[in-house]
Amino acid sequence: MRLWLRYLKEKRLTLLLYALTVFFFIAIGSLYHIENLEKLLYAALLTFTVWSLALLWEGIRYVQESRQLEKAFRHFEHSGELLFDEAEDRLLQKAEGDIEAAESFHGAQRLFLSMVCQSHRKEQRLWEAKAAERADYYMMWTHQIKTPISAIRLLLDKSKLQDRDAFLLKEELFRIEQYAEIVLTFQRLESISSDLVLESYDLYALVKQAVRKYALSFINKSLSLGLPDTESAESSPFRILTDEKWFVFCLEQLLSNSIKYTNRGGISVNAWEEGERVMLSIEDTGIGIRAEDLPRIFEKDFTGYNGRLSKKSTGIGLYLCRQIFTHLNVTIRAESQEGQGTKITLGIPNAQKAPRP
């Protein structure tokens, strides 16, 4: 109804002119041929019928084209892509020539849309080709950088450097390796859904797997580590439903942040059940996070006051964690007080209570 009202509004001048024409025709005819008034009215009725059918046919086309245009506009607004059906797309591809040579306004409009559509598709193809080229390069670089990293680690193991110097060099090398791993993970993030393998895992086994990787950092900074005592039991009481590779990567990022901003004291890890989830907390005694920065720490490229102060933050680690945890159905929240430390709490699906996919 909205489009029909708009159509009639656009045709209001034509309808007014038609009504005036019929009025003058009948008025003048009735003055000079009063005995033919019925015939004049009959002729007016016939012309009214013809005009009504013509307006109805044109109105149907108007409404259909308007709906298609609005659909294309909404699609372009949300995705940035032009949307045409197959018939319209073929017509646009066949449209050639200059606007000056167009036979009608509709033809000129179609030619202009064809030029815009072809230009947009050309730019999109170029952008996709460049994006694929960059992705291939970063993927190749990330894999190739692992070779010299491994070689340097072997050389360090064989070197006769003092223990302290060797520790420091190994730690810096470990950071290089972590940065390369972040680049690789960032490249794989778009295809994470096809890479997920959800299984039941021992929570503390995954935690210890991440902690072992940072053993050198704990030693270099003389930080303590508090883990629940599970040595007496065969396994921890908590089993979670997750993907080992992606979940451990996120744990490593959280531990890395805690170690980076903790200069004394230590880090403690605790777990407990809460409904259908297993809650895991990683709490440190570091410098904490400013209250104004806390709501934004999971945003991409956000480094905050601490990152600008230490110049060690990339602003990508916590962003990756949030994105990965979303796919793993893991909740994450941060609590912090400046100068007193930070606590990250995860809510992980309990393998014994959560439905298996």
**CATH of residue 247:** 3.30.565.10
Residue pair 48/82 in contact by the 8 Å Cβ criterion: no
Q: Are 119 and 137 in contact (CB under 8 A)?
A: no
Beta bridge partners of 272: 279
Residues in a beta bridge with 248: none
114/222 same-domain check: no
* Residue range(s) defining the domain that contains residue 49: 2-122
CA 179 to chain centroid: 22
Q: How far apart are CA 90 and CA 84, in angstroms?
A: 9
Residue 298 lies in a domain: yes
306 inside domain: yes
Stretch 32-59: mean pLDDT, rounded? 76
The total of structural domains in the chain comes to 2
Segment 92-144, tens digit of pLDDT:
555 555 556 655 566 666 667 767 777 777 888 888 888 777 777 777 777 77
Is a pLDDT exceeding 80 seen at residue 160?
A: no
Helix axes 37-79, 2-10, angle to 10 degrees: 120
Which of 106, 122, 138 lies at the terminal end of a domain, its last residue?
Answer: 122
Whole-Å CA distances, 354 to 144, 277, 279, 331, 344: 40, 8, 14, 14, 22
Q: Which of 122, 147, 168 is the last residue of a domain?
A: 122
CA nearest 238: which of 356, 351, 355? 351
Q: Do both 222 and 320 map to the same domain? A: yes
Stated as kind and residue range, the H or E segment containing 107 is helix 105-158
Residue 109 and residue 17 share a domain: yes
Are residues 204 and 313 located together in one domain of the fold?
yes
The count of other CB atoms within 10 Å of the CB of residue 301 is: 10
In this prediction, residues 257-276 reach a mean pLDDT of 89
pLDDT grade for 79, boundaries at 50, 70 and 90: low
DSSP 103: S
Question: Rounded distance, CA 56 to CA 53, Å?
Answer: 5
At 86-104, the pLDDT tens digits run 555 555 555 555 556 655 5
Q: In whole angstroms, what is the distance from residue 34 CA to residue 59 CA? A: 37
Q: Is 119 left (phi over 0), alpha (psi -120 to 50) or beta?
A: alpha
Under the banding of pLDDT at 50, 70 and 90, the label for residue 312 is: low
Residues 206 and 293 both lie in one domain: yes
- In this prediction, residue 278 carries a pLDDT of 92
Last residue of a domain, one of 122, 152, 176: 122
Helix (H/G/I), strand (E/B), else coil: 326: helix
Distance CA 347, CA 116 (A): 49
How much is the pTM? Answer: 0.60
Q: Give CA–CA dist 284/343, Å, rounded.
A: 6
Q: What is the pLDDT of residue 122?
A: 81
- The closest of 342, 257, 254, 250 to 291, measured between CA atoms, is 342
50: tokens are 């013809």
